[in-house]
Structure 1
Amino acid sequence: MKAVVFEKYKTAPSLRDVPKPTPGPGEVLLKVAGAGACHSDVAVFRDFDEQFGPPQLKPSFVLGHENSGWVEALGEGVSGFTVGDAYLVYGPAGCGHCRACSRGQDTYCENAATMPYLAMGLGRDGGMAEYVVVPARNLVPLGDADPVAAAPLSDAALTPYHAIKKSLPALGGGGKFALVIGLGGLGQIAVQILTALTGATVIATDAKQDAMDRARANGAITVPGGPDQAEAIRAATGGKGVDAVFDLVGVDATIALAMSVVAIRGRATIVGIGNGTFAWNFYTAPYEAELANTYWGTVEELYEVVDLYRAGKITPEVEIFALDDALEAYRKLEAGELSGRAVVAPHGRWPRTDARMRPGAAGTPSHCRVGSQDSDRLAGHS
């Protein structure tokens, strides 16, 4: 089968033929419906080397940690799944028996240092391929919702969802404000999640006007970047500051912005892994303001994300690519040429005429579009 393989540090991945995997005990083989291309993938093959980066991410392995697919075959001891049903994949893969894993939070596995991989597509072969093998416990049912458009939910929605749930106490009650910094794939869904879960006024900021336009369409007040950015954000709150800030970038400048606008007793959460730093000072930080970071989320929360998706509360904007064009998807991601999440659909099931496969609750998804790469070939695959 074809797969996108990370083979060498500081080098773009390659598309090559690899053996089709076979599910082992407790595992399920999925026919991949969609695999999202994420900036974390770019960090793996561009930023890491033998001295820098998690040791579990040494080459080589198949990329793709945002995955969905149809059940193709069951491994020994697996039951309760029907071949052909659609599932979303919870990417993190911990030891499965520590306290963190027992509550579905494999991201914080207590034995992570001894694990050979971190997640599907992060050390373990992922879904940027025709087929992928995953533990049965990592599958979340999609029902009749379209699985191709759903693929990014397993990271681009789960990650901000977890951060927002942790911050809900700061957003309870009337007159609350939330700020989303960075309106890429995660930031756009964060705006939708905040609107669905809270009554807070959502403020969104980015350097790109088209990104702010999309956030505004989902109910956010937008503030452009620039020297007056912090002042404008504070003005939008009536001067009191933001109750909960979500930094989806995580570089020095965005962390500093978050802490400059957070309210007294507010909470600033750094979600983006931009390797930024912040110098805390008692006299400049608002009293009792929290500065926290989060990483991914739990499998239970992914069930909740899917519920929001199926109810039509969150609709990820995706650009679909054939597997033969997966390397072009990564190129466009690195070049900043994507307006939505790049999703590779190895079997080209888009658009699908089967009425059982629907985007979210119903209808044809205006937020999904086939990329410019061979749209006819995508629609023609079986």
Structure 2
Amino acid sequence: MSQIVKGVIARSKGADVEVVDIVVPDPGPGEAVVRVEACGVCHTDLHYREGGINDEFPFLLGHEAAGTVEAVGEGVTDVAPGDFVILNWRAVCGHCRACAKGEPWYCFNTHNATQKMTLAEGDPMAGTELSPALGIGAFIEKTLVHAGQCTKVDREASAVAAGLLGCGVMAGFGAAVNTGNVTRGDSVAVIGCGGVGDAAIAGAAIAGATKIIAVDIDDRKLERARDFGATHTVNSSGTDPVQAIQELTGGVGADVVIDAVGRPETYKQAFYARDLAGTVVLVGVPTPDMEITLPLLDVFGRGGALKSSWYGDCLPSRDFPMLIDLYRQGRFDLDGFVTETIGLGDVEAAFDKMHAGEVLRSVVVIDGAGSEEGAA
């Protein structure tokens, strides 16, 4: 029987989000219903609300989530009811050209649930199919996903912390460790010290980087970056970050520079702040209108690598359990990313705090996840 649960939607571009009743179908073949326990408020959710991703409104927001599998559909073998899982948006297919080459972290054909969740009876748009954020939609008591989007991890981990691996923290950590290949003795600079940038700093520290330079325009963020492993900070509102990074690295630049902002000006800073044959990693997401011009001779003459990091080039089945182990060992401070816990009705206010730079992550904690059956 389908269920009616509470969830947070963006009904139209720029409109305040709403808590509404949503119909969640029973899982079909390859699908799972997950009782969501916690879900982080990510900037991507705000992009959806503002129409910055696409115009397939209404959106069911939320995607950085952890919870418990409640039911699975036909053919599901990797997870079972009762499993504690982190939701991911890279459910690898195993068959595309990337998977066939042994590079599933680049999977070009990731899976989402086939069925759609809909607005419940009594809503002005009753029966309308919802577009779940990143194929997940987790600001909701229970969500329907492809079973491959469920990564089983140790139940002793806090859901509030674990869910953050579902997007921003994994993106930043992986940008340093997977894409940037940071290793012991490296010098690393990270431009932009929000959640993704701080996760990149933490990843660089765990990988053994000996000099980690945090760059931002907000002293509050720079101070926080030190908690995750930054050894030096640069406030680029009044200091040339390229010059500062070069001075802090003996005049040569950093081995790896990570742009966690994703703007033309920050990318240029990253490009020129790296050492010869160094690596630039772009993990901040630009908007469609952004363009960049670089002298081709400089691209050739500086050598090295210019990389983009998709989801931290992660493989959830490999990386999520490993990071949860590090968290449980006290070596990776996931709790440090959580500024506050809130309810489903507080998401709009959390967006305002995000805009003001007041939070690293607000996390929605969902109590009860109760429902009624037989809605459809």
Give the Cα–Cα distance (whole angstroms) in 2 for the partners of residues 250 and 77 of structure 1.
40
Give the Cα–Cα distance (whole angstroms) in 2 for the partners of residues 150 and 37 of structure 1.
13
1:108: Cα distance to partner?
A: 4.2
Q: Which digits, 9 at most, give the CA deviation of each residue in 1:118-145, with x for residues without a partner? A: xx94363511100112222222223111
1:152 equivalent among 164, 168, 176: 164
Residue 7 of structure 2 is aligned to residue 7 of structure 1: no
* 1:270 corresponds to: 282
Q: Which digits, 9 at most, give the CA deviation of each residue in 1:345-370, with x for residues without a partner? A: 11179xxxxxxxxxxxxxxxxxxxxx
Contact kept, 8 Å, 1:3 with 1:17, in 2: the verdict is yes
Contact kept, 8 Å, 2:136 with 2:145, in 1: the verdict is no
Contact kept, 8 Å, 1:230 with 1:257, in 2: the verdict is yes
The range that moved more, 238-247 or 133-142, is 133-142
Residue 187 of structure 2 is aligned to residue 189 of structure 1: no
Provide the alpha-carbon RMSD of the alignment.
2.8
* 1:242 corresponds to: 254
* 1:134 corresponds to: 145
Contact kept, 8 Å, 1:243 with 1:266, in 2: the verdict is yes
Q: 1:5 to 1:104 in 2, by over 3 A?
A: farther
Contact kept, 8 Å, 1:322 with 1:348, in 2: the verdict is no
The percentage of counterpart residues that share the same residue type is 29
1:202 equivalent among 201, 205, 212: 212
Residue 358 of structure 2 is aligned to residue 338 of structure 1: yes
Give the Cα–Cα distance (whole angstroms) in 2 for the partners of residues 293 and 346 of structure 1.
34
Contact kept, 8 Å, 2:17 with 2:347, in 1: the verdict is no
1:306: Cα distance to partner?
A: 2.8
1:122 equivalent among 127, 133, 137: 133
Give the Cα–Cα distance (whole angstroms) in 1 for the partners of residues 98 and 38 of structure 2.
28
Contact kept, 8 Å, 1:9 with 1:46, in 2: the verdict is yes
Local SS of the residue matching 1:73: strand
Local SS of the residue matching 1:257: helix
* 1:292 corresponds to: 307
2:223 equivalent among 210, 213, 227: 213
Give the Cα–Cα distance (whole angstroms) in 2 for the partners of residues 93 and 157 of structure 1.
18
Q: 1:64 to 1:173 in 2, by over 3 A?
A: closer
Give the Cα–Cα distance (whole angstroms) in 1 for the partners of residues 267 and 23 of structure 2.
44
1:75 equivalent among 69, 73, 76: 73
Contact kept, 8 Å, 2:204 with 2:212, in 1: the verdict is yes
2:40 equivalent among 36, 40, 43: 36
Contact kept, 8 Å, 1:29 with 1:71, in 2: the verdict is yes
The range that moved more, 188-197 or 271-280, is 271-280
* Runs of 5+ consecutive residues of structure 1 not aligned to the other structure: 350-382
Q: 1:90 to 1:40 in 2, by over 3 A?
A: same
Local SS of the residue matching 1:18: strand
Residue 265 of structure 2 is aligned to residue 253 of structure 1: yes
* Runs of 5+ consecutive residues of structure 2 not aligned to the other structure: 117-130, 370-376
Give the Cα–Cα distance (whole angstroms) in 2 for the partners of residues 266 and 330 of structure 1.
36
Contact kept, 8 Å, 1:262 with 1:289, in 2: the verdict is no
Q: Which digits, 9 at most, give the CA deviation of each residue in 1:92-127, with x for residues without a partner? A: 346563233565747641589xx999xx94363511
* 1:369 corresponds to: none
Q: Which digits, 9 at most, give the CA deviation of each residue in 1:326-352, with x for residues without a partner? A: 22222322x224322111111179xxx
1:184: Cα distance to partner?
A: 0.5
Give the Cα–Cα distance (whole angstroms) in 2 for the partners of residues 11 and 78 of structure 1.
38
- Normalized against structure 1, the TM-score is what? 0.79
Contact kept, 8 Å, 2:353 with 2:359, in 1: the verdict is no
Give the Cα–Cα distance (whole angstroms) in 2 for the partners of residues 98 and 16 of structure 1.
37
Q: 1:257 to 1:70 in 2, by over 3 A?
A: same
The range that moved more, 229-238 or 73-82, is 73-82
Look up the equivalent residue of 1:124 and give its one-letter code.
G
Q: 1:93 to 1:45 in 2, by over 3 A?
A: farther
Give the Cα–Cα distance (whole angstroms) in 2 for the partners of residues 12 and 267 of structure 1.
40
* 1:232 corresponds to: 244
Contact kept, 8 Å, 1:12 with 1:46, in 2: the verdict is no
Look up the equivalent residue of 1:45 and give its one-letter code.
R
Local SS of the residue matching 1:223: strand
